[in-house]
Chain A
Amino acid sequence: MANKNDGDSSKDGAPPKDAESSGGKAVDAPTARRRQEAIGRRLRQMYEEVVSEPVPDDFMSFLQQADKAKKPGSSGGSSTDPSSDT
């Protein structure tokens, strides 16, 4: 319907039809839009894949160590910091 969609906040000042991208040929708006949607999906997929991986043990053991180093058992003087960092 509307061939112009000026209310779109996502494209900011960038003239959509100058095909400055190395892709070359200008394509119609629905195609361009479909491509961008597909790219968006793949980007999220790439990211989500790592997010959903189990976190390696190193990460958690690091925080556990930080915890132990912080409270050596009793409250009070934590002035002596046992071998905390390099």
Chain B
Amino acid sequence: MSEDEEQTFKTELVAAIPHLRAFARSLCNDPTMADDLAQEALAKAWKARESFEPGTSIKAWTFMILRNQFYSEKRRSWRSTPLDVDMAENTLLANDDPTMPMELLELRSALAKLPDDQREALILVGAGGMSYEEAAQVCECAVGTIKSRVSRARRALEGLLLEAGSRSSNGDHDIPAQDAFDDILEQAAALADAGGKRSGDG
């Protein structure tokens, strides 16, 4: 790698950091753990820079590194503690943002209940906006596999959120679960619209 190439690589790598952090956070939920994971992935990516093919997606490449890191560590140690609500709640409190809708907590804990392969596929495509092709590269599987995981994850998540909606409306109100769910979603949409009109939505 020439000096120039290395400089370009570094610039791209730095630009990928926020995404690495977001991906890590969605995978392991605990912000500190997530940042550790992202830093380890960054270090690995830097060491392996010679094997990166210029012109390909550095985001997909670093995500693949992070993902491998995550699963090997998970297998080794930090496994076994599935995300519990306390942890999600701490995350929420740490952000200390009054505009942060509570439903994000529900979303996170529902996500945590999905099988690993479905969750990561949905996060990559549905949250991170990756193409199916890029996501397939990250997960080192076929594009069709990603597609079906995403679609299963979407349906499962909908079911989990419906359940959560019915639990939280239990007792206080007599709102049927689905109404509560739709209501919550509308509020979330309104908040998102008011919060920051992003360039998206086309």
Contact = CB atoms under 8 A, between A and B. Distances in A.
A45 B17 contact: no
B18 A47 contact: no
B35 interface: yes
Interface in A30-86: 31-32, 34-36, 38-53, 55-56, 58-60, 62-63, 66-67, 85
Contact of A51 (B21, B35, B126, B185): B21
Nearest to A66: B46
A23 B46 contact: no
Interface in B69-124: 95, 100, 103-104, 107-108, 122-123
B104 A24 contact: no
Which secondary structure dominates chain B's binding surface?
helix
What interface size band does chain A fall in? 35 or more
Contacts of B178: 25, 27
Contact of B158 (A23, A47, A60): A23
Interface in A1-47: 10-14, 20-25, 27, 31-32, 34-36, 38-47
Nearest to B187: A38
Given A38-B188, A44-B129, A44-B200, A50 B21 contact: yes
B151 A62 contact: no
A63 B13 contact: yes
A62 B39 CA distance: 8
A72 B90 CA distance: 43
Given A36-B158, A62-B39, A63-B46, A44 B127 contact: yes
Given A34-B182, A41-B189, A50-B18, A63 B129 contact: no
Contacts of B159: 21-24
Contacts of B161: 39
Q: Which of A25, A34, A63, A85 has the most CB of B within 10 A?
A: A63
A18 B155 CA distance: 10
A24 B186 CA distance: 21
Contacts of B192: 41-42, 45
Contacts of B43: 62, 66, 85
B189 A38 contact: yes
B42 interface: yes
Given A10-B151, A38-B189, A23 B163 contact: yes
Interface of A: 10-14, 20-25, 27, 31-32, 34-36, 38-53, 55-56, 58-60, 62-63, 66-67, 85
16 contacts: A12-B147, A23-B160, A25-B178, A34-B185, A36-B158, A39-B107, A39-B185, A42-B192, A46-B127, A48-B22, A51-B18, A51-B22, A56-B35, A62-B42, A63-B42, A66-B46
